[in-house]
Amino acid sequence: MKPQNIFSEIPKNLKYEIFEPLINDDAVIIERIISKGQQSSSWHDQKKNEWVIILKGDATLTFEDQTSVQLKEGDFINIPAHKKHRVSWTNPENETIWLAVHY
Question: What is the rounded distance in angstroms from the CA atom of residue 70 to the CA atom of residue 23?
Answer: 27
**H or E segment and range at residue 55:** strand 50-56
At residue 13, the pLDDT reads: 86
> Nearest-5° angle of CA 30, CA 58, CA 43?
60
pTM over 0.75: yes
At residue 79, the pLDDT reads: 98
- Please provide the CATH number assigned to the domain covering 18-102: 2.60.120.10
Instruction: Identify whether the C-beta of residue 50 lies closer than 8 Å to the C-beta of residue 79.
Output: yes
Partner residues linked to 19 by β-bridges = 33
At residue 49, the pLDDT reads: 98
At residue 12, the pLDDT reads: 85
At residue 25, the pLDDT reads: 94
At residue 48, the pLDDT reads: 97
pLDDT values of the chain reduced to their tens digit, one per residue, 103 residues: 899 999 999 988 889 999 999 999 999 999 999 999 999 999 999 999 999 999 999 999 999 999 999 999 999 999 999 999 999 999 999 999 999 999 9
Question: What is the rounded distance in angstroms from the CA atom of residue 18 to the CA atom of residue 62?
Answer: 20
